[in-house]
Amino acid sequence: MTITKKDFKLIIPFIFFLIFGIYGIYSVDFISVSQTMKTTFEWCTIPTIIFALYYAYHSSFGYKTTIVIAIWRNTFTFIVMTIITFTSFQGILMLINKNIGPQKEYLLSGKITKLKFPENKKIGNKYSIEIERKLERDTIELNVPTNQYFEKQKFEKRMKIGSLHFIYSEE
């Protein structure tokens, strides 16, 4: 398989998009996952599908294969590209939330109701906790940097609310 100029024109922008998105995901230590997922789903579903279809089509077709292999490869590539694109859009929205527009101070307080810790910490795994907020009378899922929390623990932390209304803290 030889890489052509056309391939580079396809790959290079995607790599920058991916790096920018991954950087956004890891740019904060504490972030309200439920808010970021909901917003990314609402705002970026159609662009994600278009982007994934475009890359799946251009990365599979144009190569000499049978129709069955091309369909299988396109389907697999589409699924992988959808996941990668959605995650990158989520990271980009986190960067926008943190760096553009007004930022308000916020005191997040409540009781931890659920822990979501992976058994073995691997690259990409996040620790998260669910916090029942008394003032807002709801539950929020929060990514946290460590697993030093336990259920029914009182949680209180100075955070910020960014321009997209995601609750976050850099430390």
Fill in the amino acid letter for 20.
F
| Shared domain check, 95 and 109 | no
Say how far apart CA 19 and CA 27 lie, in whole Å.
12
Identify whether residues 84 and 9 lie together within a single domain: yes
- 84: part of which helix (H) or strand (E)? helix 67-99
**Residues 18 and 68 placed together within one structural domain of the fold:** yes
54 and 85 together in one domain:
yes
**15 and 81, same domain (yes or no):** yes
- Say if CB 111 and CB 154 are below 8 A apart: yes
Closest CA to 1 of 56, 44, 51, 60: 60
Of the three residues 56, 74, 99, the one that is the final residue of a domain is: 99
Clarify whether residues 95 and 108 are in a common domain: no
Instruction: Specify the number of domains making up the chain.
Output: 2
- Its domain, for residue 11, covers 5-99
| Percent of the chain whose pLDDT exceeds 70 | 88
The pLDDT assigned to 131 comes to 93
Over the stretch 78-122, which tens digit does the pLDDT of each residue have? 888 899 999 999 999 999 999 999 999 999 999 999 998 877 666
Q: Are residues 55 and 94 in the same domain?
A: yes
**Would you give per-residue pLDDT tens digits along the chain (171 residues)?**
566 777 777 788 889 999 999 999 888 889 998 899 999 999 999 999 998 888 877 776 656 666 666 677 778 888 888 999 999 999 999 999 999 999 999 999 999 999 988 776 666 677 899 999 888 888 999 999 888 898 999 999 999 999 999 999 988
Of 99, 132, 154, which marks where a domain is finished?
A: 99
Q: Are 22 and 41 in a shared domain?
A: yes
pLDDT value for 118: 76
Single residue among 38, 72, 99 that ends a domain in this structure: 99
Q: Domain check: are 10 and 51 in the same one? A: yes
